[in-house]
Structure 1
């Protein structure tokens, strides 16, 4: 029996859950899981429901629209693996972790390709039987390089794009081609510690907590809606190299957690925040 994930983002109103459930029942669909959230400040209602049965998508969406407030956003996604493209540069820790999780069956994804701007990671990626493409940015204008990247990415029609320490700032043109599809990971020192070697800067300041943040990519650099975060405690005995090692471990965990949330359709974008159901 097919399973679907129903996602609803709308203005809050009385009887929403009742009316939605009534439509699902009338279509002989079974609710297997359900989660809801109401943001009282903005009067917004969010709902994620896993349903099973024989779904007539057009009929179901039409009937749901009839019982929901105007301008409600409704998505009905079949519970299948999402097509994914990963962008990388030279660092191995995040990419390697994702590839191992993928091969172990932990990720509900179909990784179509890894695209990088350096050749360094080719051997690693091809060991996992995943296509690797290098599009060097050497001697190219940023926009010209991005045009080639966009063209290559579009060959795979990905539902998600993961920046596995892809060390290039993306232009608004790139972001506009893939709205709400690009996931990034960075250390939580930004913007407190920016530029070269943030771990060395943090060590010099004597920080006691380091961490990582996974977020959507938007036109505002490193300010997109946050999906997942985590921290680890450090102390005076840590060298900056120790801090970097601890930080990289956190980056791996945070990115994989955020990635899984997106693969499972658990993330709603709400302004510059996210609602996770």
Structure 2
């Protein structure tokens, strides 16, 4: 299985139903394009995959799935600049998109080497810590860094061949999957203290608050994410759900 086939199904990344009201033909065309690009990639026909993806991406400039696939096609052609642009658009829509994050790591490793790519590979592993394909690539990058005598500088001494240690960001996801929302919040806050630019962790924090019943706090975090990434799907969903909750709560109604 190719690394990019760990993505979710071919409909992932379709814009929200509200955006697509009355555009069923366009949606069908988009879905067909995504399926066609996948087939072309599976046949190692990256050039034609790009040619099919471009019109769909122009029609849906924030479609997650088509940009993820287009990024893969560009990457297979060693067009790292356009691949990175496509992956970045996918990540703006879904900061937790595993394949797009792997794509970013591949681009950084190809252009700037393992040391620069280490952070991107670690982020990919944090999204799905149980994915051995990603763990294997992360270990490979760590070995290359160690072979250059830089293991201590990058804080990976003793991690080259053993289990990859969990980070605060990866633990957030583990706690969320176990419905341990308070623990997830604590880990997310710690991760954001270390790197406040982590939109993926901000989104996980919002999810933890929402699932714990604190919809107002979740809405506030989601709204702040949308100020920077207005097409983030989950943030938009949380804001929309909050509006629905408020509209149904008589205590929130203005007389």
What TM-score comes out, normalization by structure 2 length? Answer: 0.28
Which has a greater percent of helix? Answer: 2
Which has a greater percent of strand? Answer: 1
Greater radius of gyration (CA): 1
